[in-house]
Amino acid sequence: MIATSMALIQHVCSAPLARAARPRFLAAVISSRNLSIRSSSSSSSPARASQAESHVLLGMSEQELQQVALDFGQQSFRGKQLHHLIYKRKVKEIQDFSQLPQAFRNDLEEAGWKVGRSPIHNTVTAVDGTIKLLIKLEDNRLIETVGIPVEDSKGSVRLTACVSSQVGCPLRCSFCATGKGGFSRNLKRHEIVEQVLAIEELFKHRVTNVVFMGMGEPMLNLKSVLEAHQCLNKDVQIGQRMITISTVGVPNTIRKLASHKLQSTLAVSLHAPNQKLREAIVPSAKSYPLDAIMKDCKDYFLETSRRVSFEYALLAGVNDKTEHAVELAELLHQWGRSYHVNLIPFNPIEGSDYQRPHRKAVMAFAAALESRKITVSTRQTRGLDASAACGQLRNKFQKSPLLLDSEDLQSQPDIAVAC
């Protein structure tokens, strides 16, 4: 395995005297702070308002960046340059925007604006080429993202980014390492988008597919997930059909997602063919009965004409028997025909009693579904030697925020930190 780490300290200082001496700059600051108010009638106002408050450029559309440029007394084409620098050249610091006037760069920084890129804290590379990254956020919390390269028979590479939507996860599925690490907060729009850019930089290759299957429950952070989805589609230019949003099931959210009529794939983490077994594996299932989630999936297909994919983690001796496959097929036929099952052999994690199923059991399960006319695929296991299961690598380094210096370490010795 290859492990690398990198640290970055950002410091923004205020300069009230300089502001007072520069009326044009002061007007720009006031204007940028009122951006969300002026744009309230715009169709993109919620996204613009949230970004204006946080002063983060990443995640903004070209139109929004043009408005930022205008607010600072620049011509609108400067916004196009910002867009190119952020999404194409992937520049991380405002002072590195060499195509922009120095005065504009200074004004942006003094107003508290930043690109919104975070440093990579650690990477682990598996022998199959899969790379898992730990990204260190501004509040010193760590999130995971995974780059999965697959080369086809013609030599073309498909690069999938598996992104996180939360720091940790509150749902605590029994087989998931992320839940064991606790939950801190939702990720913001730019914190989701930057994961994809980090993968592209690391692999020096364009990301072709994005799956919201990393840390967290996307439906519990649906607003930021949808904003990030729009940015990934429009600005990073990843086709909607190349994006998958996964959920273990949160009441009322599948209907909300359906209303947006995305062309992306909805993947529901089912993991069991009946309510009793599902509750044992997924504790949150108690508040969202299986019949209710299946009805919402049926309605989702009718609303969007997009087939729902069901994720099924195979746990040896728990849910991987042929009778479970037969029961699953009956359940799916009861609720419709346009379904797909993605079987996922369990990735062993430390402290878990669950075991990875034998290959024969996986093949028998798939055959039982196929014989009952259920479309099925088995996910190729990647990165077993790189803490591949969601949350594993992060838990090795952190269950609490990283501390800033040695003095903090001495004052709080119980906090887990990375070396």
User: Which positions are catalytic?
Assistant: 144, 390
Residue that is written with structure tokens 């501004």 in the block: 138
| Distance from C-alpha of 299 to C-alpha of 113, rounded to nearest angstrom | 42
16-55 residues labelled b (16+ CB within 10 A) or e (exposed): eeeeeebeebeebbebbeebbeebeeeebbebbbbbbebb
The residue type at 366: A
Q: What is the Cα 38 distance to its own chain's centre?
A: 30
CA–CA gap between residue 169 and residue 344 (Å, rounded): 20
Strand pairing category for 166-168 and 120-125: unpaired
Kind of pairing, strands 209-212 and 183-186? unpaired
Residue with tokens 């004409």: 305
Contacts with 281 (C-beta within 8 Å, 6 or more apart), sequence order: 173, 174, 175, 271, 272, 315, 318, 319
Question: Beta strand 2-4 with 120-125: parallel, antiparallel or unpaired?
Answer: antiparallel
β-pair type (308-314, 339-345): parallel
**DSSP codes joined into one string, 350-401:** TT----PPPHHHHHHHHHHHHTTT-EEEEPPP--GGGT-STTHHHHHH-SSP
- The continuous run of DSSP H or E covering 158 comes out as strand 157-162
Alpha-carbon span 415 to 118, nearest angstrom: 22
Token pair listed for 248: 């273990």
Phi, psi values for residue 26, rounded to 5° = -60, -40
* Tokens encoding 356: 């990875």
